[in-house]
Amino acid sequence: MSEKNQDPLDVTAATTTTTDPPTSPPRSKTTRSKGTSRPTAKRTTSSSQQSTVPSHVQPRRAERRPEMVRQRRDERRKAYERRQRQWLITRIGLGVVAVVIVGGLVWSIFRFASDDEATRPDGVQEFSYTALEHTASLEETVDYTERPPVAGPHAPAPYWQNCGFYDAPVQNESAVHSLEHGAVWITYKPGTLFEDQLQDLRDDAGQGYVLVTPYTEQTEPVVVTAWNNQLRLTEWDKDTIDQFVRYFRQGPQTPERGATCTGGVGTPL
């Protein structure tokens, strides 16, 4: 039978059969065609998966980055400040140690120069009396030309004057014996010195081989005497007194250098 003589009902049936949609459309037409975008269902599924993590548990990287940068910057700044403090403390400590060392060296050099390289003061009068001349006893006196005396006959052993500070006159013959042992005899005229000046002399007497006594017969406020050497001061001059003591105490003029200035007579203050 030809198509023209086909029953109309058959045509309708055929048309119905060919126009019904297939129960499972081909996947290639909906998911893998070139030039088409990805299905909306897949994008929706991806968004829903990302939104399942709470925002307070895992914040976005864009929001966390500034905070992390600030934390790193603060940590670097604090570390730098700690290093600066440590460096400053170390530098101060080294500076203190250096000052102490340099100060000790300067002080040692000064003391060495003062003790070993002392210079003879100006104005010292020199004499030439002989040594080792003793009187027969402590009671025998000597008529000295200089007052206070500078050398000459003196009391026999062991009647030298113990070195130290006295506030009353001592016997000339015993003091001259101390000069022979290398002592420096500082005499002051009573009533001419202030209390602080007397204290300075008391301090001088404490260093050994220094005898300090009042002497009423002298006209000057202070007279400083070593064996065969004497300096008369018309006014108070502590620097010159100290210079005299440094140069003449156990100095080259001493007839019996190293002989004691204790164990004799007198009780210093």
Which sequence spans correspond to the domains of the chain? 63-117, 125-248
CB 227 within 8 A of CB 181: no
Nearest to 232 by CA among 251, 215, 246, 249: 215
The sign one gets for the Cα dihedral 48, 52, 58, 63 is positive
Q: Which of 222, 132, 213, 219 is closest to 175 using CA atoms?
A: 213
Burial class (CB in 10 A: 0-12, 13-18, 19+), 28: exposed
Residue with tokens 């700044």: 77
Q: Which residues pair with 154 in a beta bridge?
A: 134
pLDDT under 70 in the chain at which residues?
Answer: 1-64, 104, 106-117
- The confidence score (pLDDT) of residue 11 equals 43
Residue of 156, 189, 152, 148 whose CA lies nearest to 172:
148
- Give the Cα separation of 250 and 175 in Å (integer): 15
Instruction: Check residue 268 and give its pLDDT.
Output: 95
Nearest to 184 by CA among 121, 140, 234: 121
Place of tokens 């299905």: 39
| Whole-number pLDDT of residue 3 | 44
- Cβ–Cβ < 8 Å for 247, 121: yes
Residue 151's CB is within 10 A of a number of other CB atoms, namely 24
Specify the fold of 125-248: Glutaredoxin (3.40.30)
Q: Which tokens go with 215?
A: 């002497």
What tokens does 210 get?
Answer: 């220094």
- The DSSP code sequence of 120-155 is PPTT-EE----SS-B-SSTT-----SSSS--SSSBP
- Report whether 225 contacts 184 (CB < 8 A): yes
pTM here?
0.58
- Neighbouring residues of 262: CB distance < 8 A, sequence distance ≥ 6: 162, 163
Which neighbouring-strand residues pair with 76?
A: none
Alpha carbon distance 187, 164 (integer Å): 12
Contact 147, 218 (CB under 8 A): yes
- pLDDT at residue 261, as a whole number: 95
Per-residue model confidence as pLDDT tens digits over 96-125 = 877 878 876 765 555 445 544 579 999 999
